[in-house]
């Protein structure tokens, strides 16, 4: 007989979980969040570019975390040209893009319920060949893995028995909605708590990580934190993936018995938000395109051609890029290697 975990969901304890370090981070985030409402000095074109890049990075990074990868060109075509592909990776990327756009455009109308979570999962796999998965909770038990750079998997958590999923998802949705309506617990504490519980339940046979990140976007938007519209939260997670798995492991220990420590995961969540806001500050302080070019050249081990740089910059025309490269050359911020068609660029 399968052993059932003794687990309850009562978020009232979160009122007393905030320590001095967490409190400082919360204060910092609320101060930084004011930037979203003061975009008057950022050109409309830059804002639109930010949004497009955020979508591209979110779709790319969230899928890449799950080893669902494709070429930059194909992902751009899926997102911006509505092009259809037949490969399974591209089909799942297309589904993620659809769900992300649903959230961006309709987050206020998405109640946090079991039914809506199932609907989001169904949409995620709308184009997939895995028809047996979509919109259904798992029918067999599964595990949470961490995946290293060599694609080696390590079990970090054994989720609840599949027979408990329906009940547990209903309970965490009810508890989140109850506490959020009360407006006593800070939403920036409540959101990562809900997301951790969702990940520990691991309700689906596949797609749990992606749905958790989509839900994170939705919950932040619903609570007036719009940073992810301009700076990809999924990209920040991908760039700090080892810490993500580390804190997930720490915060899930003894979760089955309601004796886990949520603070490591909450702390990680807040750190990622602060990184996002600081990236937005950089955009506000300096030219956005310049920042992007410098970042691309900084992370590249070899000089890059105009074409190679262009492939990494969504929604920037080739002509605009060439003009900016010329300015950066004149300012001695970058250096040209080679001439004419063979010209490539690197940092000075």
Expressed in angstroms, the distance from the first to the final Cα of the chain is 67
d(CA 267, CA 194): 14
Burial call 267-291: b when 16+ CB within 10 Å, e when fewer:
bbbbebbbbbbebbeebeeeebbee
Using DSSP, state whether 40 is helix, strand or coil: coil
- Asked about 121 being catalytic, the answer comes back as no
Q: Is 244 assigned a ligand-binding role in the annotation?
A: yes
Q: Is 257 assigned a ligand-binding role in the annotation?
A: no
> Which residue among 25, 121, 202, 279 is the active-site one?
202
Please report, for residues 53, 136, 140, 190, the alpha-carbon distance to residue 206 in angstroms, rounded to integers and kept in the order given.
Answer: 26, 10, 11, 25
Contact 298, 288 (CB under 8 A): no
d(CA 70, CA 64): 9
Q: Is 245 assigned a ligand-binding role in the annotation?
A: yes
Among candidate residues 156, 196, 184, 232, the one with its CA nearest the CA of residue 9: 196
d(CA 328, CA 297): 12
Q: Is 211 assigned a ligand-binding role in the annotation?
A: yes
Q: Is 10 assigned a ligand-binding role in the annotation?
A: no
Among candidate residues 225, 313, 314, the one with its CA nearest the CA of residue 272: 225
Q: Is 208 assigned a ligand-binding role in the annotation?
A: yes
d(CA 280, CA 96): 24
Q: Is 249 assigned a ligand-binding role in the annotation?
A: no
Contact 204, 138 (CB under 8 A): yes
Q: Is 212 assigned a ligand-binding role in the annotation?
A: yes
Q: Take residue 195 and report the two structure tokens written for it.
A: 């997301």
Q: Is 282 assigned a ligand-binding role in the annotation?
A: no
Cα–Cα–Cα angle for 253, 254, 255, rounded to 5 degrees: 90
Q: Is 254 assigned a ligand-binding role in the annotation?
A: yes
Residues at the binding site for ATP are 206-213, 244-245, 254
**Active-site residue list:** 202
């Amino acid at each position: 007989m399968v052993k059932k975990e003794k687990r309850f969901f009562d978020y009232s304890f979160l009122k007393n979980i905030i320590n001095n370090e967490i409190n400082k981070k919360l204060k910092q985030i609320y101060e930084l969040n004011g930037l979203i409402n003061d975009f008057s000095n950022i050109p409309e074109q830059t804002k639109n570019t930010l949004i497009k890049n955020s979508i591209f990075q979110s779709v790319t990074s969230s899928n890449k975390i799950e080893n669902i990868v494709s070429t930059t060109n194909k992902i751009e075509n899926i997102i911006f040209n509505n092009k259809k592909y037949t490969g399974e990776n591209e089909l799942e990327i297309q589904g993620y893009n659809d769900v992300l756009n649903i959230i961006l455009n309709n987050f206020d109308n998405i109640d946090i319920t079991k039914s809506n979570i199932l609907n989001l999962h169904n949409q995620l796999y709308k184009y997939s060949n895995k028809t047996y998965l979509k919109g259904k909770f798992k029918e067999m038990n599964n595990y949470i893995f961490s995946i290293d750079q060599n694609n080696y998997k390590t079990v970090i958590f054994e989720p609840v028995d599949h027979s408990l999923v329906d009940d547990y998802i209903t309970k965490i949705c009810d508890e989140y909605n109850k506490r959020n309506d009360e407006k006593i617990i800070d939403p920036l504490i409540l959101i990562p708590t809900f997301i951790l519980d969702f990940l520990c339940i691991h309700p689906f046979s596949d797609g749990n990580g992606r749905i958790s990140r989509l839900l994170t976007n939705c919950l932040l938007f619903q609570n007036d934190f719009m940073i992810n519209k301009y700076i990809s939260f999924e990209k920040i997670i991908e760039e700090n993936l080892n810490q993500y798995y580390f804190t997930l492991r720490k915060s899930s220990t003894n979760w089955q018995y309601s004796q886990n420590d949520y603070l490591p995961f909450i702390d990680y969540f807040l750190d990622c938000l602060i990184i996002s806001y600081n990236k937005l500050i950089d955009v506000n302080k300096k030219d956005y395109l310049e920042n992007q070019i410098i970042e691309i050249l900084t992370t590249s081990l070899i000089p890059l051609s105009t074409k190679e740089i262009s492939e990494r910059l969504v929604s920037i025309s080739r002509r605009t890029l060439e003009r900016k490269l010329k300015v950066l050359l004149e300012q001695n911020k970058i250096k040209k290697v080679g001439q004419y068609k063979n010209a490539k660029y690197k940092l000075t």
